Amino acid sequence: MTEHDAVDCIVRLALSEDLCADLPACFSVLMRSRKAPFTDVTTAPLFSDEIGDARVFAKSSGVLSGSVPFRRVFETLDPAVSVRFRIEDGDRYGRGDTVATLSGSVSSILMGERTALNFLGHLSGIASYVDEIVRMLRGSSLRILDTRKTMPGMRLLEKAAVRHGGGTNHRMGLYDMVLIKDNHIDRAGSLPEAVKKVRAAHGSKYRIEVETRNIGEVRQALEAGVDRIMLDNMRKHDIKRALEIVSGGVEVEVSGNLDRRRIRRLRGLSLDFVSAGSITYAAPHADFSLLL
């Protein structure tokens, strides 16, 4: 499945959720590339062949993300609806700015309005939140990473939103990077044993990161020659000790219940990365409206 197909799947499921009483049946029809029996009991009796224009405007300032699924909503509903964005994903917008215009069937525009705005608001909210943190970290060595704490089915779009906000993606899933965490270590018997088993299975195919909980595990990870050490839920004085031990020999990432206030306190340390699930699961929703 290509990225285009994945976005298609997400959009079709979202439309089925909003416009079909029988979601599974409707989604199944859509995935076979056939027109689904969409129903809008409010719009249908009011409009039939009317053509009109609409604009999407911002009710706050931020960084745009979500233009791709926004467009795809209307391509799926009615390819005759024209959607034009005045700015690109990753661009900043201000309160009151018109970010997109639409032209076509009034009925189709209204049927797709909420689904399209949901994508735009959620993803622009993430991009805007990440942008705030990136600007806060400017001048330091720190880069902000996302995590796998994403909404099921939305990871591809949410991680794109992180990039639009100037952040960096961590691994996409469990398939593209080794991350040995506390449960792996405890069940394997020790940190060195866990690293040994992973290397025996994969060789150098994947980068290896190890989550460490104390200074002893930091020393073990360094001796094991891993690619990156994660300092998980450590206090600032322990982070400083860990950095002294590592001394630039390997990438260092800090993680564990980090919000903007705690991230700001790390600016002066010679860290490489800070990872925070909150940038995807706790970002405020960006507010947009569509007016005919």
Enzyme catalytic residues: 114, 149, 181, 211, 232
Are 229 and 210 in contact by the 8 Å Cβ rule? The answer is yes
> Count of CB atoms within 10 A of residue 106's CB?
19
Q: Please give the sequence-ordered ranges of beta strands (E in DSSP) within 15-172, or none if there are none.
A: 51-58, 62-63, 82-85, 92-93, 98-105, 143-145
Residue type, 30: L
**For the range 82-86, what are the long-range contacts, defined as Cβ-Cβ under 8 Å and sequence gap of 24 or more?**
none
Q: 210 is written with which tokens? A: 């190890």
Residue 160 CB-density burial (10 A; 0-12 exposed, 13-18 middle, 19+ buried): buried
Name the DSSP letter for residue 104: E
Residues 6+ apart with CB under 8 A from 95: 58, 59, 60, 61
